[in-house]
Amino acid sequence: MIRTEEMTISMGPQHPATHGVLRFIVKTDGEVLHEVKSDIGYLHRSMEKIAEKVGYIGFQPYTDRLDYVCAMTCNHAYALAVEKLAGITVPERAEYLRIIAAELNRISSHLIMVGVTAMDIGAFTPFIHAIRERETVNDLFEMLCGARLTYNYVRIGGVSFDAPAGFKEKCVEFLDHLEPIIDEFNRLISFNKIFVKRLAGVGVISREDAIGYNLVGPNLRGSGVKWDLRRDMPYSAYPRLEFNVLVGTGEAGKVGDCFDRYMIRIREMIESCKIIRQALSLMPSGDTMAKIPRRIKPPAGEVYMRCESARGDIGFYIVSDGTERPYRLKMRTGSFTAMSIVEKIAPGLMVADLVAFVSSMDVVAPEVDR
């Protein structure tokens, strides 16, 4: 006799298609999911407690480990929060270098996302193509600061090093190379019929849910909310740069499906190229570091600063008591809220669609757990 009861499967924590160490406890009826519970915390390092011990300057390298796929924007978000609290003004050249670094990192992070999404649903070749391009971004970062993954480049008050001779030319050369490559990538995978069928109409998130669950960045824009912190609550030198904010249109299925979230990232890479070109041409000469005291002691108070990372709005809430160590530091990250919506959207999907759904959210495990 065939048994037809529900089956409970533990997916992860070491599953090849979960991004980092994540676990889902899924109840299935055959291939269809009935209930999904996410189990997180495997990478919890209590960074918020560490911040209370190591002080404002000492915490800067830890922000790299918050989201290693897009470390520059984490550096940037933290530096912005401390600067706002301590009233530090950053030199103009440093602002542009920060933007160039952040946008290059956004490109490399989105390359990982589009490559990994294809790999997770069964197409391995595009991943290799994406990683090849990312390698050049890593080379550029190595020129800037010597590191290829955890940069610690954006510091409180500016950036650690000025761009070396030849950086601008190398950067432009990469952009000239990347823009046609994205078209090639689209021909290779984005508009492949099987690929589109795996993503279109799957894991649809409505506009109300996206805002209610506090989704951010490309996931929010995928659901049709035209919102980008770089444009709507601008910081750094973004007001002087022109770029488009892209939203999901449901071109292959419904607004807010996996394909929309995927395409947003493909197109944001082109926008980032535009931003970098403008920043390179507008960048003035001058200092790259403000004169800051050896020990930063912001006045007593608190600040909540948000910054647009590749995974969306990342928020730093810092409480100062006037000493050189933060009294309380909280990091509110996009991956955490993206994981919380899985339980709501997943029931009714197929098991294989859960994999596509999670990779379309571009979740990075250390950012979930902190």
> Could you list the residues that contact another protein (CB under 8 A)?
40-41, 44, 46, 48-49, 84-87, 209, 211-214, 225, 227, 232-233, 298-304, 306, 313, 315, 317, 319-320, 327-328, 330, 332, 336-337, 339-340, 344, 369-370
Which token pair is 231?
Answer: 């444009």
Instruction: Report the alpha-carbon distance of residue 100 to residue 118 in Å, rounded.
Output: 27
On whether the CB atoms of residues 243 and 274 are closer than 8 A, the answer is yes
CB of 322 to another protein, least distance (A): 9
The neighbour count for residue 316, using CB atoms within 10 Å, is 27
User: Any idea what DSSP says for residue 122?
Assistant: T
CB of 222 to another protein, least distance (A): 15
On whether the CB atoms of residues 166 and 89 are closer than 8 A, the answer is no
Nearest C-alpha neighbor of 308 from the set 280, 268, 358: 268
On whether the CB atoms of residues 261 and 360 are closer than 8 A, the answer is yes
In the complex with another protein, the residue whose CB is nearer, 210 or 252, is 210
Which token pair is 171?
Answer: 């950067």
CB of 133 to another protein, least distance (A): 33
In the complex with another protein, the residue whose CB is nearer, 228 or 362, is 228
Q: Residue 93 carries which side chain, given as an amino acid letter?
A: R
Instruction: Report the alpha-carbon distance of residue 77 to residue 89 in Å, rounded.
Output: 15
In the complex with another protein, the residue whose CB is nearer, 51 or 258, is 51
In the complex with another protein, the residue whose CB is nearer, 313 or 362, is 313
In the complex with another protein, the residue whose CB is nearer, 53 or 240, is 53
Instruction: Report the alpha-carbon distance of residue 322 to residue 290 in Å, rounded.
Output: 21
Q: Which phi and psi (to 5°) does residue 24 adopt? A: -120, 135
On whether the CB atoms of residues 55 and 156 are closer than 8 A, the answer is no
In the complex with another protein, the residue whose CB is nearer, 253 or 366, is 366
CB of 370 to another protein, least distance (A): 8
Place of tokens 């996206």: 210
On whether the CB atoms of residues 299 and 288 are closer than 8 A, the answer is no
Measured at the alpha carbon of residue 154, what is the angle toward residues 140 and 150, in degrees to the nearest 5? 60
CB of 345 to another protein, least distance (A): 12
CB of 324 to another protein, least distance (A): 15
In the complex with another protein, the residue whose CB is nearer, 194 or 211, is 211
CB of 209 to another protein, least distance (A): 8
In the complex with another protein, the residue whose CB is nearer, 231 or 274, is 231
Measured at the alpha carbon of residue 144, what is the angle toward residues 150 and 84, in degrees to the nearest 5? 70
Instruction: Report the alpha-carbon distance of residue 227 to residue 305 in Å, rounded.
Output: 16
In the complex with another protein, the residue whose CB is nearer, 92 or 321, is 321
CB of 206 to another protein, least distance (A): 12
CB of 267 to another protein, least distance (A): 21
Nearest C-alpha neighbor of 113 from the set 355, 361, 370: 361
Longest dimension (CA), the chain: 79
